[in-house]
Amino acid sequence: MRAANVGVSCHDGAVLLADVVAASAAVGATRARTAKTATLAALLRRAAGPEIEPATAWLAGEPRQSRLGAGWRTLTRLDVPPAAEPGLQVTAVDAALDELAATTGAGSTARRTELLEALFGAATADEQAFLVRLITGELRQGALEGVMLEAVAAAAEVPAATVRRAFMLSGRLPATARLALTEGVAGLDAVRLEVGRPVRPMLASPAETLDAALAELAPDVSVEFKLDGARIQVHRDGAEVHVWTRTLREITPAVPELVELVRGLPCRSVVLDGETLALQDDGRPRPFQDTMSRFGAAAGELLLRPFFFDCLHLDGADLLDEPLHVRLDALSRVAGGHRMPGALRPSQEEAADLLERALEAGHEGVMVKSLDAPYAAGRRGRAWQKVKPVHTLDLVVLGAEWGYGRRTGSLSNIHLGARDPDGGEPVMVGKTFKGMTDELLAWQTSTFPGLAREDDGHVVLLRPELVVEIELDGVQRSPRYPGGVALRFARVLRYRPDKTPAEADTIDAVRALLH
C-alpha cells in the first residue's frame, strides 16, 4: 500500500481511529447501559458524513465490509512496529479496508500483506490490537446492537422507535445511523419494506405453559406448529426470487426447489416468512443438521419443504403494520397449500390437541400468536409466544475442557454463557458434557482450536462466536457464576449455525426460569 493511501494526517474535527478505540474501551469497561449509550452518542455526534458508517460498524463490533480475506494466520505473521502517535483517520482506515476487501486473484495474498503492513505501520499499539480484533471477528459485540440504536437516536435527537424501525426494515445499522444523523426523522421515515431487501424477523418469547400463553393472548389467537426447522424469508418480484436465513444470509443458490415453488405462486410480488426443513419418508422431520447442511451446498437428493406462517407484502401492498389476521388472509390467498399447520381461535381443548399432534409428529411444540398484533420486525415481544414441553436455551460457548477417561484427547465439557443485554461479555451460567455424541466430540475437538483465545492445557477459552441449544430441567441460584444462577441438568441438543451470539438468550431470560 502506498503510504498516501493510509492517510495518517488529519484535518480539524476529523474522527480518528484512536477516538473509536477509546470509545470502544470505555463501553467495554462499564456495565451501565446509560453510560455506554452516552459514550457512543458523544462519538457519533462528532462524526461527519463519510465517517458515520464505518465508526458505527466498528463500535458495533464488525467491519463495514463483509469479507476482508484476512484471518488470524495472516495477521499473526505481521511484524510491524506501531506508530508512536495516533493519526489514522476513520475514513482512511475504511478506505484501506475497502481496498483489502477488493483484493482478489493472482498475487492477492502478497498484496493483502502489503496493504495490512502499511495500515498497521500507521497504527499505534492500541490501534493495532483493535484492528486485529475487528478484522478477525473477535471484537464482535452483536448484543451491543440495541445500545447502538439508542446511541444513534440520542446523537441525532430523534425518537428511538423511529431509528429502530428504520433499522429493522433496512437491516443495515451503519446506513441507519447515517440517515439519522444526516437526514433526521424524515430520512428514517422514508425507509420502507423493499421487495428484494430482507427485514429483521419478528421473534417469539418463551411461554411457561400453553395455558399461560392462552390466558395472556386468547381468544383472538392463532396456534401453529413449531417446527424443528430453519427460519427463512422469501422475496419474489416477478420471476426474481431470493431466500434468506434468519441472520439475513442469502442462500438462494442452495435452495432451487424453494425458488421454483415460490416462482409458481399466484402473485406478482410477495414477501413470506416461514420455516423450511427436510422430511423423512414417513413425514417426520429429519435432524436439524440435515436441513442446515443444505444451506451451504447445492441441491442433492435431500429436498427442503417450506411451511409459511406470515405474509409481509403481496402484489404491491405492504402488510407489516396490518394485524396478523389480515396477513394470514393474504397468506392463504397466495400460499394456502404451504401454510404452517395450525388453527385460528381454538378452544383450550383444541389448542392442547394441536400441541399433542405437533409433538407426536416429531416437532418442538406450538406457537401462540395474537391475531391483532402487527409484524414487529426484529423485536422479541409477547405477541408471539413459543410453547415447548422442555426448557431450552440458546447459549454462547465460552470454552471447553480437555476430556479424560474415554474422552481423553477430546474437547468435551463446554462452558456456557448467556448474552448480556447491555452489550458486555456473555455471562457464564454453567457447564455440560452431556448429550454429546462421538461425532460431536470430534467436531468440537477439530473446530474449537481455531476459535481459541487461550489454551492452558486444561481449558480452551473461545471467542464468543458459537451458539448451542441446551436442554435443561431448570435453573437454581448459585454464587459460583457471575450471573448468580446456574443451569440444572444441562444437555446439548445441537449447535445453531443459523444463530449469532446476538440472538442467544439473555441472562435475564435465564434468571426468569427461577420463577
* Active site residue ranges: 226
CA angle 176, 179, 184 (to 5 degrees): 120
Q: How is 330-399 classified by DSSP, letter by letter? A: HHHHHHGGGBPSEEES--HHHHHHHHHHHHHTT--EEEEEETT----TT-EEEEEEEE-SSEEEEEEEEE
SS3 of 79, please? coil
How many helical (H) and strand (E) elements, i.e. helices and strands, does the chain have? Answer: 18, 19
| Sign of the alpha-carbon torsion through 39, 45, 46, 49 | positive
First and final C-alpha spacing in the chain: 59
| Sign of the alpha-carbon torsion through 264, 266, 271, 272 | negative
Q: Are 478 and 486 contacting, i.e. CB atoms less than 8 angstroms apart?
A: yes
Q: How is 169-180 classified by DSSP, letter by letter? A: HH--HHHHHHHH
Rounded distance between C-alpha atoms, residue 352 and residue 369, angstroms: 15
Q: How many CB atoms lie within 10 A of CB 95?
A: 16
CA angle 455, 458, 459 (to 5 degrees): 55
Q: Residue 469 forms beta bridges with which residues? A: 394, 494
SS3 of 243, please? strand
Rounded distance between C-alpha atoms, residue 64 and residue 90, angstroms: 12
**CA proximity to 60, closest of 141, 126, 132, 123:** 141
- Per-residue H/E/C for 122-155: CCCHHHHHHHHHHHHCCCCCHHHHHHHHHHHHHH
Q: How is 18-65 classified by DSSP, letter by letter? A: HHHHHHHHHHHT---HHHHHHHHHHHHHH--HHHHHHHHHHHTTS-SS
Rounded distance between C-alpha atoms, residue 452 and residue 464, angstroms: 10
